[in-house]
Structure 1
Amino acid sequence: MSLPPPANDQSYWEVSAIDAGHVHMLLSQLVDTAKEGEMVDLPVLSFVLRHSRTGEVILFDLGIRPDTEAYTGARALADTMNITFQGRDIPTALERGGVPRAKVKHVVISHIHFDHAGYPRAFPNAQFIIGGVARKVIEEQGPDYPGTFYSIDVPSERVLYLRPEEPTGRGWAPLGPFPHALDFFGDGSLYVVDAPGHVPGHICVMARTSADGAWVCLAGDGAHDWRHLTGEAGIGHNPVCMHLDLSSALENIARLKAVRDIPRVRVLLAHDVPFVQEGKGYWPEKIASL
């Protein structure tokens, strides 16, 4: 298993993490090895990517918006599952590091759960990249998304829905273990990857982090816990499975395992406890490239 080699003078992305909130919940909702009643403070991460040549800024996920009272449907469901959460002001955090929110031209939303979709309207010049299968959910269940953890308030005129079945003029192709990936800028530096299983329209990103062959995989909720990738735990089902399509989710986890084993690939989860415990690479500092 391999990834495309770098081109001559290959462009790449510098990557930083942002603390985007946290969720307090039963661990057994995520892993099948949890003790009865064991709780977890789950970190929520967003990521800032800056292009090595153009300086363009992309965000991957927007975390939990700070005004959590806006989450009507999600909060009602969370209350029934003993889940509490806190948000963060991502635009202000970005600006403290020297990047005005108006400079952000693209935001990739891994999926439309409340703890990833944040508040898109805070970015006035951004185009929002969303997995195409989510479009039906947004149009039919929004804006309140009753009985679900979905929550997204996105300006429809600035959304690009991507899915392999709906070509955009640039073809989807295999990338390493992933069957469908789109070279978004056409320079081989960043790929939007179809990563089904968790919820409709779940996507992740594969981005180069050096000119000589290093990568990062921003996996979203392809796995909620690193133990899913190491084999130390299976997916939890208390009270329900957090993945809507378990079979596809397990296939995607297998692909994440495979890409993790490729030399010089760093995999980062949206709720990456080991990364948070290490405490390095938060904006405006950079995550070290492998």
Structure 2
Amino acid sequence: MTTIHIWHTGEVYIDRALAYQEKTIHPAPHTGIFRPSSKKSWLPVSAYFINHPKGNILVDTGWSETIRNNPRGHLGLVASALFKGKLPPGQSVREHLETIGLKDTDLDFVLLSHLHLDHVSGVEHVRHAKTILTSKPEWDAANKDLGYIRSMWRGVPVQTFELEAIPFGPYNKGVDLFQDGSLYLVHTPGHSKGQFTVMVQTSKGWVLLISDVGYSRRSWTQLVLPGAITNKEEAIQSLRWVQEFSLRDDCRRIIANHDPEVAPQMIT
């Protein structure tokens, strides 16, 4: 039986325009620069532990424990000026794993949906997992483009997967992780060049962990894009696919990473 644990691994303080794209005279409202605090809020930073018949899987890694005492050193001057993060005691991925009696060496896969700071910050805590994996397009972009903090994965043995033909997704690209149709990494670009959705088969239907394809149910029901995107057409295609999939009889649940309405829980 597959179970999915939704963990909150801290919070991030962002402008609402980063979650939901706005039409405004401000050239980059998602940065929060020159925007009042009334337009900003704390949102959860999630990670997911999947106990699958073929292995233990962690999806994303939330904040590093370093954010507690050295946020500027961890994020750098620019990012620390734009974003705030907090990590209460017991909420790092290392601490969550300890709570269920596991260490990073017990993880068969760490899947990094994309390499933005609030998704990869805590990868240092799981560096001894058997396989740490992200997509080749995301890895290539993260190691040459702006918007990434490469020191977060320096020295971590990140591996990549090539996009293959699969029966799901806006572009029918990704990978069948166990080659048995039970768990897919679905290419859903737009917010970043190589972002992927984790698609998990349960006894009651599919659960989609959509990362930042959208920030909440409002995103896919109303087709509201995130404020930060690398390609508008791809972002729309990815979000529209989520919307269409949500209407399927075999869709059990769709979970966005920063949705304040999603509480920590276990899906069996």
> TM-score of the superposition, structure 1-length normalised?
0.76
Q: Which amino acid aligns with 1:27?
A: R
Aligned counterpart for 2:225 among listed residues 223, 228, 235: 235
Gap change, CA 1:102 and 1:227, over 3 Å in 2: same
Gap change, CA 1:262 and 1:117, over 3 Å in 2: same
Q: Which runs of 5+ in 2 are unaligned?
A: 24-34
Match of 2:140 in 1: 136
Deviation by residue 1:62-92 (Cα, 9 ceiling, x = unmatched): 01112023665844334443x3111342112
Match of 1:109 in 2: 112
Gap change, CA 1:246 and 1:188, over 3 Å in 2: same
Deviation by residue 1:244-274 (Cα, 9 ceiling, x = unmatched): 2122111100011111111242111111222
DSSP 3-state at the match of 1:247: helix
Gap change, CA 1:71 and 1:243, over 3 Å in 2: farther
Q: Offset of 1:287 from its aligned partner?
A: 1.6
Match of 2:56 in 1: 57
Would the aligned equivalents of 2:47 and 2:60 in 1 still touch at CA under 8 Å? yes
Q: Offset of 1:14 from its aligned partner?
A: 1.0
DSSP 3-state at the match of 2:181: coil
**1:258 pairs with 2:256:** no
Structure 1 residues 245-284: aligned runs within 5 Å: 245-265=231-251, 266-276=253-263, 279=264, 281=265
DSSP 3-state at the match of 2:172: strand
Would the aligned equivalents of 2:169 and 2:187 in 1 still touch at CA under 8 Å? no
Would the aligned equivalents of 1:47 and 1:61 in 2 still touch at CA under 8 Å? yes
In 2, Cα distance between the equivalents of 1:260 and 1:96? 32
Match of 2:153 in 1: 153
Deviation by residue 1:25-52 (Cα, 9 ceiling, x = unmatched): 221332257997322211111000011x
Ranked by relative contact order (alpha carbons within 8 Å, sequence separation 6 or more), the top structure is 1
Structure 1 residues 20-99: aligned runs within 5 Å: 20-32=9-21, 37-51=38-52, 53-54=53-54, 56-68=55-67, 69=70, 72=73, 74-81=75-82, 83-87=83-87, 88-99=91-102
Q: Which runs of 5+ in 1 are unaligned?
A: 1-11, 142-146, 165-170
Structure 1 residues 156-167: aligned runs within 5 Å: 158-164=157-163
Q: Which runs of 4+ in 1 moved over 6 A?
A: 33-36
Q: Which has the higher helix share?
A: 2
In 2, Cα distance between the equivalents of 1:223 and 1:179? 19
Q: Offset of 1:137 from its aligned partner?
A: 3.5
- Deviating more after overlay: 176-185 vs 83-92: 176-185
Using the aligned pairs only, state the percent identity. 21
In 1, Cα distance between the equivalents of 2:154 and 2:80? 25
Match of 1:287 in 2: 267
Structure 1 residues 174-213: aligned runs within 5 Å: 174-175=167-168, 179-210=172-203
In 1, Cα distance between the equivalents of 2:140 and 2:98? 33
In 1, Cα distance between the equivalents of 2:212 and 2:172? 18
In 2, Cα distance between the equivalents of 1:120 and 1:75? 17
DSSP 3-state at the match of 2:108: strand
Gap change, CA 1:71 and 1:120, over 3 Å in 2: farther
- Deviating more after overlay: 255-264 vs 115-124: 115-124
In 1, Cα distance between the equivalents of 2:51 and 2:19? 32
In 2, Cα distance between the equivalents of 1:79 and 1:118? 13
Would the aligned equivalents of 1:74 and 1:148 in 2 still touch at CA under 8 Å? no
The root-mean-square deviation of aligned C-alpha atoms, in Å, is 2.6
In 2, Cα distance between the equivalents of 1:108 and 1:243? 21
- Provide the aligned length of Structure 1 versus Structure 2: 248
